[in-house]
Amino acid sequence: MSFIGRYSPPGDKSITHRILILSAISKGSCKIEYALKADDTMATLNALKAMGVEFDVEENIIVKGVGLKGLKRPKSEIDCKNSATSMRLLAGILVGQDFDSILIGDKSLSKRPMKRIIEPLTLMGANIKSDDNEHPPLFINPSEGLHPIEYELTVPSAQVKSAIMLASLYTGEVSTIFESKESRNHTEMMLDYFYSNDFKVDEYTVPGDFSSAAFFIAGALLSKGSELLVENVGLNPTRIGLLEVLQRMNANIDVQDIKLKNNELVGNLLIKHSSLDGTEVYSEEIPTMIDEIPMLAILAAFANGETIIRDLGELRAKETDRLQAIFSALDALGVDVRIEEDDLYIKGGKIKPAILNAEGDHRLEMAFEILKAVSKVDIEIRGGNVSSVSYPDFYKDFNKIWRTK
C-alpha cells in the first residue's frame, strides 16, 4: 500500500477564518470559493451570523458584508466551540463595536491563554477582560474609543497579531506591531488585498491548506512506492517551514506551477517515497510550521540519525499539551526521545506496537493515523474522532489515495 494519485487538500483553515471575518465587515457581498467547512471555521461563521451577518452556504459561501460598524448585538453569548482562532480574531473586531458581547468556548478552549490578546487590546483602549485575566470567557464592552499602539509581541502568534490589526481598523490610524520571529501573515496579505479593492471584494478563492496536506505529504514520504501530486496547495512562505525542513532531510519533493492568487502563493507538490535524514529545526522556524510538529516528530522517528526540534513551548498551549503528548506517543512506540526544556530530541529507529492517545487533539489523531498506515506494527489509537475540527474529509481523502498501484 502506498499514497498514490492526485490530491487536493481542503481549503486553508487560517485563511477561511479571516476571509469570513473581513468579508463580513466589508462593503458588499463576497463569494468565497473552497472555504473550509469544518467545526472551527463554522464557529466563526455562526458567530458572525449571530451578529446579523447573512450567509448563503452551499458549494461556495456568499457573505453579505455589513461594514465596519454594521454588526448587531448578539442575543446570547457567542460560542467559539474549540476554536481559539475564532475567539482571538473576533475579539479584535468586537472591541470596536458599540454593544456588549461575551465570548465562550468548550472545555478545551476555556483553558487556552487569552492574556496575550487582552493586554494589547486593553492598551488600545478596549474594554475587554476575563474573570482571571487569562482564560475564557471574554467579556467585551464598548470603549470610549480605540487608539493605535506600537506593540512588541511576547509570543510569535499570528492570532494575537491579527487581533491587534483587526482592532486597528476601528482606530482610523496606523498601529505598529513588532515580532522577533515571523508568524503567519495571512491577515496582512488579506488586508492589503481588501484595501487595494476599496474594501470590497466580490470573489475570493481559498487555497488548499498546507497543514492538512502535511499528513499525506508525510505518508507519501514514508511509504515505499508512493507518488502523490498535491494540487492547489497554499505556499505562503510563512506557512511552509515544514517543506523547507523536509528538503533538508533529503525529501523528494518537487514544487511546481507556483502562481499568485488573491495575494497568496499557490502551487502543486509532487511527493515521492524518500529515505530521510535527521536535521535540526531552529527556533525561528517554529512559527512557520507550528501545526505540523506532530507529523514532523513522526517523520523524525523514521529518519536516519537524530532530529532536534527547538523551542516548542507554544505546543503546551494548544488543544492539549502537544509537546508532552508527542513525547508520550513516541516513547510508547519505543523511540529514543527526550525533552530538554522546550527542545525535543528524536533518534530514528525501529518502532514497536503501542496504544497511542490522541487526547482529543485533531492534529495528533491524524498524525497517528498516518503512522498506523505506514508502519508495520500494531497501533491502537484512542482519544480520537475529532478530525472534523479542522479536516472533516480526512478519512475520505485518506481512503482515496492510500492504495495499491
The type of residue at 157 is S
> Within 10 Å of residue 259's Cβ, how many Cβ atoms?
11
H/E stretch holding 132:
none
Rounded (10°) angle between helices 13-24 and 158-168: 10
H/E stretch holding 396:
helix 394-401
Q: Cα–Cα distance between 16 and 37 in angstroms, integer?
A: 9
Q: Cα–Cα distance between 383 and 8 in angstroms, integer?
A: 27
The type of residue at 369 is E
Q: 345 phi and psi, to 5 degrees?
A: -115, 125
Q: Are 267 and 233 in contact (CB under 8 A)?
A: yes
Q: Are 403 and 375 in contact (CB under 8 A)?
A: no
- Is residue 291 annotated as a catalytic residue, yes or no? yes
Burial of 301-316, coded b for 16+ CB within 10 Å and e otherwise, reads: bbbeeebebebbebbe
User: Looking at 106-153, which runs of residues are DSSP E strands?
Assistant: 127-129, 138-141, 150-152
The type of residue at 159 is Q
From the list 12, 40, 291, 361, the catalytic residue is 291
Q: 84 phi and psi, to 5 degrees?
A: -70, -35
Pick the closest to residue 296 from 317, 272, 323, 321 (CA basis).
323
Rounded (10°) angle between helices 186-196 and 13-24: 40
How far is it between the farthest Cα atoms of the chain? 65
Look up residue 316 and give its three cell numbers.
503546551
Q: Which of the residues are catalytic?
A: 291
